[in-house]
Each structure stands twice: as C-alpha cells, then as structure tokens.
Amino acid sequence: MFNWLRSKKKKLARDVKTDLHSHLLPGIDDGSPDIETSLSLIRSLIDMGYEKLITTPHIMQDYYPNTPEIINKKLEELKSALQQEGIKVSLEAAAEYFLDEFLIEKLKQKEDLLLISNKYLLFEMSFMSESPYLKEFIFQARSAGLIPILAHVERYNYYIDNLEAIEDISERGALLQLNINSLTGYYSKPVQQLAEKMINRKLVNVLGTDCHHHNHLELIKKAKGMKYYEKAVTLPLVNYTL
C-alpha cells in the first residue's frame, strides 16, 4: 500500500527539462575545453531528460573577458556541430556575470547584456564576501525591467548562518538559483544544509546544473534520487516557464 502510494507520488513529481546555468561552450571559460567535450556533455544532459539548455559562460573582467560577440560566435559553432552529429536539443546562450563595478556600469550605460529569455540576468559574487554593489545592482536591474538571478546562493559561505540575508535579497526582487549538486554535499556539508534550508523555506526559484564537466553530471544523477531534490521540483521554478 505504502509502496504503491510512494510510486504514485514519484510519478506525479515534475522534473526539470530546461536548464539555465551551465558552461557548455568550448574554450571560453572554466567549463568545456573543446567541442568534443561540449557534445559529450550535451549528450549526457539529454540522456538525463533535459530538452532545453540555456548555457551561461562566465563574464568576469580579468579572468573571462567574454563579450556577447564571442559567446554568440561559440554558440553558432556548437549549434552547427550538434546539427552535424544529429543531436536534437534546444540550445541558447546567455551569461553568468560577475557582479563588480563594470557590470553596474554596463547596466547604467544600457549596454547590451546577455539575458536568459530576454529578461533574466544571471549573476554571481565573490565566494569571500558579499558584493558591496548587491543592493544597488538589484535596484538598477529591476528599474531597467530585468529580473536578476543570483547564482548558486547556497555556495556563499557568508550566508550559511544568515538565511535572513537570503530572504532580504529575495524581497528586494532578485531570484535565487540553487545548484542541484549542492544537495549531494559535493561542495561541503554546510552548503548542503543551507541548500536544504532554502528548499524548506521555499527560497529557491531556479534549479541549475552549473555543469562544467562530467563529474558534475554524475553528482546531479545522484542528487536526483534524493528527497530534497524531489521537494525542490515541487516549487514554482522559473525552469518550468522557459
């Protein structure tokens, strides 16, 4: 009886078919190094049930000085390789912007930014300390009609004992993205626990693979069997709307 209920519940649970955080374009950041690896990662993501991939290379002034031109050129290269190989998937590109004074300036100058679905702006911060620009950035982005998404919130150690700070970011109008592999304890036990607390408090708007390499995908397969993943996919995620 209980087994029957459990399997029925499993069938009812939604799964995520659109991913909006990954590093699949070859050779432009710390993700896939070459086109063969990109193809093999995408094959694995399709096997895992993904149908649409909005990949997000880093844009970071000193380390990854990517531009919309560089990213769009790589996207076209990868799309033609997919076509040649007969791999069917919807592939788009946006970016994961590092929040610094350059990003604030781009927003103020109304420069063309790489957005997810024309409105979502994925951004990340230092793992050492919260950006001094965070509040101003959320305000500026919202004023420009954009919706900022803070990448892998649970990985910022300075939020581990500060769920209130995460709530504040959400109340200011940014969405919160969680890395699926955080649920396995891959980054650390405290990161896993923060991820679980965020799911309990419904402070997750986006699930992401943040796939850089095959190891990440193995962890995500493991996470997909875990109870907090099942709980996360019942939240009203942006993934379901794209």
Nearer to Fe ion, 196 or 210 (CB): 210
Residue 208 CB, nearest distance to Fe ion (Å)? 8
Helix axis angle, 134-143 relative to 101-108, nearest 10°?
A: 20
The residue type found at 192 is: Q
Residue 8 CB, nearest distance to Fe ion (Å)? 36
Nearer to Fe ion, 96 or 196 (CB): 96
For residue 100, give the DSSP letter: S
Interface mask toward Fe ion for 96-125; x: CB under 5 A: x-----------------------------
Residue 216 CB, nearest distance to Fe ion (Å)? 10
Determine the size of the site formed for Fe ion (CB under 5 A).
2
Tally of CA atoms within 13 A in the half-sphere of 191 that contains its CB: 18
Count the residues in the chain: 242
Distant-in-sequence, close-in-space partners of 183: CB < 8 Å, separation ≥ 6? 192, 195, 196, 223, 226, 228, 229, 232
Nearer to Fe ion, 19 or 210 (CB): 210
Among 180, 176, 234, 182, residue whose Cα is nearest residue 205:
176
Residue number with the shortest CB distance to Fe ion? 210
Nearer to Fe ion, 52 or 231 (CB): 52
Q: Given candidates 28, 75, 210, 238, which one binds Fe ion under the rule CB under 5 A?
A: 210
Judged by CB under 5 A, the chain residues 127 through 146 that form the site for Fe ion are none
Nearer to Fe ion, 30 or 34 (CB): 30
φ/ψ bin of 115: left (φ > 0), alpha (ψ from -120 to 50), beta (otherwise): beta
Nearer to Fe ion, 134 or 150 (CB): 150
Residue 215 CB, nearest distance to Fe ion (Å)? 14
* Segment contacting Fe ion by CB under 5 A, of 68-76, 90-98, 141-149, 183-191: 90-98
Its sign, for the CA torsion 181, 183, 188, 190, is positive
Asked if 154 and 179 touch (Cβ cutoff 8 Å), the reply is: yes
Does residue 19 touch Fe ion according to CB under 5 A?
A: no
How far is it, in rounded angstroms, from Cα 211 to Cα 37?
Answer: 12
Chain positions contacting Fe ion, by CB under 5 A: 96, 210
